[in-house]
Amino acid sequence: MRDVEKSRDQLVYELSEARQRISQLESLAAAGTRGGATVEQTSTRYKALFESATEGILVAEIESRRLVYANPSALRIIGYGEEELFNLTVGDLHPETDREHCLNEFTHRAQGKSTQASALPYMRKDGTRIFVDLTATLGLVGGRECVIDFLRDVTERTLAEAEIRKSRNDLLSILGMLRIVTVIVGSDGKISFVNSVGLELLGAHETEVLGLPWDEVFPLSSRDRAVVRLKLSTGESQSARLPVTMDSPGGRRYWMDVEIHPDPADAERRIIFLYDMTEVHLLRDELDQTTEFEGMLGHSAAMKQLYKEIVETARVDWTVLIEGETGSGKELVARAIHSNSERSERPFVPVNCAGLTDSLLSSQLFGHKRGSFTGAVADEKGVFEAANGGTVLLDEIGDISPFMQTSLLRVLETREVTRVGESLPRRLDFRVLASTHRDLAKEVAAGRFREDLYYRLRSARIVVPPLRRRSSDIPLLAAEFVEQSAAATSKSVQGLTQQAMRVLLQYPWPGNVRELRSAIEHAVLRTAHELVQLADLPPEVREGGATPPIDGPDDVDERERVLAALARANGKRTLAARMLGVSRATFYRTLERLGIVP
């Protein structure tokens, strides 16, 4: 069994190579993977993604047609055990009456002539006939050319369509039971039916959408609307799927495939099926993109921009102000700047400025002479001396006193440090990075932070995005944290259920990545399953995930956002704070500052 597991791990890694994006990771490995993930760690991360995906992934060698890999979802679809996989060929998966047709379809995929198939007949091990939709790609696995199929069991839909062809009378009830977004529109383009899955996606009641034009109800891009409108006007069955993107009212983006069919009960109407392909899209996106940079995980647009800013900032020896919410990863950003700079071989010394008295902070930053105060039993270097030639991170710089602000300004201007108890300064060479969760511009306006120090610190400025503004990174981060937590607890936890992942995507994460890691650790420690269940998540995450967070552009007026949150929360301040992604204490202070009485 251990050999099988080893083989599966190797195949998962080779499958990621087949996506032709492993070259960058290999170059990192050749360079020693300084500060980054090893190829083995990346393989393990992809394994966690494949093994926890609800989409089936099946790999078959082109020449022999033998199966070489199947993730747990694919094994559930075909009904075979893991140990039986390597004795099967592609033909063994199809009914005898359809085998020739299905093998021809495989040949077309192997030749690159087709990349998808709809309602392809399969035969489970127990003899049950099922139907599968698939999309395919080609790749090298172990030096062998293979077809990589992404499977989805559509037996229920296929049988329902057969029922529709047999009987028109039960059309709406059958469509209503499908776990696929199903819409019926008339010749005027107005909606006459939406099933419960579609209403759930839209976050609307039936009375709010019936009778409205479909293109007003479903928020597609102008290009996608034009394509769907053209297909609707032809009056012909469109079994070929149309890929579209749609943004839900809650702000989540969906990648959907659209099928259009004539209504067998009324030639003037059309039935639209929308298949949620978001997970497949995100999985492919994970394979196609670099997701790790200097210990940070994420492939969202916000994180790509952050990586770019880090590299650009590292090229110059300027002081940098790193701003971001608590738990968003400001220290990781600082370490990444140092690691990519010319000072990377020299020390990186962080110091937390919050909660220290002026005397303690002075001693910690500048060092002290023996006997300069009670307890000073020996000469001690300060942080700046310890980091000579390297980088100092002044974490939570916004919390220091006016006295320390003046002392720091002098150090930044002269690059000279005087130990406590001495009179002669020491000339040093160091770079300063500063981080804060506060808005220093507002602190300057309020007179709590020196303006000259503020501008000295922000020669360059980097803003770390909060987790709620890069929710597409949550599946990747969750997979990584599950893997780490499972190893620490010696549990065989492989991932999360779809329901648990949905809640993680909806929760506003006021504690950002740090809170996500804590929630996953809690869940893995608690769970008794291979997949983390919804009930395993911390209660505040389960309850907070029921309502998507309010998250608007940065230029939205703060007062309007607060009032909108209170309105949606029916005046409940704790719930409104959760929607905005801030603590209750911070929200109360905001209400007082803005003069808002709930």
pLDDT tier at 579 (50, 70, 90 boundaries)? low
Residue 288 is predicted with a pLDDT of: 46
d(CA 229, CA 289) in angstroms, rounded, equals 33
Q: In this model, does residue 519 exceed pLDDT 50? A: yes
Q: What is the pLDDT of residue 291?
A: 64
Question: Do 177 and 196 form a contact (C-beta atoms < 8 A)?
Answer: no
Q: Is pLDDT of 43 > 70?
A: no
* 2-153 and 467-544: identical CATH topology: no
Read off the amino acid at residue 374.
T
How confident is the model over 364-376, as a mean pLDDT? 70
386 token code pair: 């310890």
Least confident of 14-23, 169-178, 237-246, 303-312: 14-23
DSSP state of 374: T
Q: To the nearest whole number, what is the mean pLDDT of the chain?
A: 80
Rounded mean pLDDT, 439-460 = 92
Record the tokens describing residue 418, joined without a space.
């005087």
User: For residue 103, what are the CA distances in angstroms to 32, 135, 318?
Assistant: 45, 15, 62
Regarding the domain delimited by 301-463, which CATH topology (the fold level of the hierarchy) does it fall under?
Rossmann fold (3.40.50)
CA distance 82 to 362: 62
Q: Of 397, 215, 403, 223, give the one whose Cα is nearest residue 321.
A: 397
Q: List b or e across 430-457, with b for residues whose CB sees 16 or more CB atoms inside 10 angstroms.
A: bbbbbbbbeebeebbeeeebbeebbebb
d(CA 263, CA 271): 6
**What is the pLDDT at residue 178?**
55
Q: Which long-range contacts (CB under 8 A, 24 or more apart) does 279-287 make?
A: 279/53, 279/54, 279/55, 280/55, 280/135, 280/150, 280/255, 281/255, 282/472, 282/475, 283/49, 283/50, 283/53, 283/55, 283/150, 284/19, 286/46, 286/49, 286/475, 286/476, 287/16, 287/19, 287/21, 287/46
Distance CA 169, CA 403 (A): 82
Question: CATH for 467-544?
Answer: 1.10.8.60
pLDDT, position 30: 37
pLDDT by residue (tens digit) across 444-454?
999 999 999 99
What is the band of 156 on the pLDDT scale with cuts at 50, 70, 90? Answer: confident
- Which pLDDT belongs to residue 512? 94
How far CA 95 is from CA of 221, 401, 415, 451, in Å, comes to 41, 77, 78, 76
In the chain, the percentage of residues whose pLDDT exceeds 70 is 80
State mean pLDDT over 347-355: 89
The pTM (predicted TM-score) of the whole model is 0.47
| Token pair belonging to 209 | 């959408």
Question: Domain limits of the chain?
Answer: 2-153, 157-280, 301-463, 467-544, 558-594
Which of the two residues, 12 and 100, has the higher pLDDT score? Answer: 100
Structure tokens at 96: 């005898």
CATH number for the domain formed by residue range(s) 2-153: 3.30.450.20
DSSP codes, 139-207: EEETTEEEEEEEEEE-HHHHHHHHHHHH-STTHHHHHHH-SSEEEEE-TTSBEEEE-HHHHHHHT--HH
The secondary structure element, H or E, covering residue 593 is helix 584-594
Structure tokens at 395: 């974490």
Helix (H, G, I), strand (E, B) or coil at 22: coil
Q: Are 321 and 440 in contact (CB under 8 A)?
A: yes
pLDDT higher than threshold 50 for residue 550: no
User: Region 393-406: what's the mean pLDDT?
Assistant: 91
Does the pLDDT at position 102 exceed 60?
yes
Among the four given CATH numbers 3.90.1200.10, 1.10.3720.10, 3.30.450.20, 3.20.20.150, the one describing domain 157-280: 3.30.450.20
Mean pLDDT of the 235-240 span: 60
